[in-house]
Amino acid sequence: MEFKAFIEITRPHNCALAGVVGVLGSIVAVGHLPDALTTALVFLVVTLGCAGGNTINDYFDYEIDKINRPDRPLPRGAMGRRTAIYYSLLLFAVGLVFAYMINVYAFLLALVAYAAMFLYAWKLKPLPFVGNLVVASLTGATPLYGAVSVEHLGLAGYLAVCAFLVNVAREVIKDIEDIEGDLAKGARTLPIVWGKRNAAYLGAAFAVLTVVASFLPITAGVGLGYYAMVPVDLIILYAAYLILRSQEREAAHSSQKLLKVSIFLAVMAFLVAALV
């Protein structure tokens, strides 16, 4: 067993990014940084939840990762599967303790989100489109969690809608990238059931819907602050173009990575809009 596997299996960069998005969600909601304790707790709850979710996902994806991600800790033997499931439950438990310290609504939302992560990894991931919707909902809930923690919605509601839509697009396109391993396990993801081309059309459609939804803050009187979202919209549209042009693994990888980057950039754009 490798000690670094306990860090690696959580995908710490992704988790830290999710934690930052949670904090930025609270800033977008109230227009300023919350107190230090609330900020730290929001970051920890989101980060630990993401870490637990990634770990439990690797536990259930062991056979698939032997094909798609053989360098990850479990398939290469750096951590035992039983250790991984206990580790994920510990991460969830600590996250819930921190969530309880914020307020009851933050605790309940964290509880629902953590349960959804476990259920997704256990049963829902192989189901066509259902798993995609669950992951997208969890991502959309990240900035919303920051808003719940400060008990104010603000622009975080619009951000949650955009995050949900762009993540539906990314999850569908990621399934196109991972189709080889999913086929080997017998999973019934959207590209397998519908075909890669049809899945690409759906992913691109949700990308376009994200761009349309990004105009919603204008109805809240954001004004010039909206223009920070324009470069993000262009990135999202380019990602849609890439997957429509080709459904090969390399194109799908580039497209879903661009959409992943656009999530964080969108949060920053909404932050600028909220502060301006």
CATH number at residue 56: 1.10.357.140
Same domain, 235 and 124: no
Q: Could you tell me if 36 and 58 lie in one domain?
A: yes
Please report the pLDDT score of residue 158 as a whole number.
87
Domain containing residue 203: CATH number: 1.20.120
> Which residues constitute the domain of residue 69?
1-153
| 60 plus 193 within the same structural domain | no
Q: What is the mean pLDDT of the chain?
A: 91
Closest CA to 142 of 33, 49, 259: 49
Q: Clarify whether residues 249 and 209 are in a common domain.
A: yes
The structure's pTM equals 0.85
Q: What is the pLDDT of residues 166-224, one digit of tens each?
A: 999 999 999 999 888 778 777 788 999 999 999 999 999 999 999 999 888 776 555 55
User: What is residue 185's predicted lDDT score, i.e. its pLDDT?
Assistant: 72
pLDDT, tens digit, for every residue of 169-183?
999 999 999 888 778
d(C-alpha 201, C-alpha 213), whole Å: 18
Name 31's Cβ contacts closer than 8 Å, sequence gap at least 6: 154, 274, 275
Distance CA 177, CA 259 (A): 14
Instruction: Answer with the one of 91, 119, 153 that is the final residue of a domain.
Output: 153
The two structure tokens encoding residue 183: 């086929």
Last residue of a domain, one of 132, 153, 174: 153
Q: Are residues 158 and 237 in the same domain?
A: yes
One domain, residues 109 and 185: no
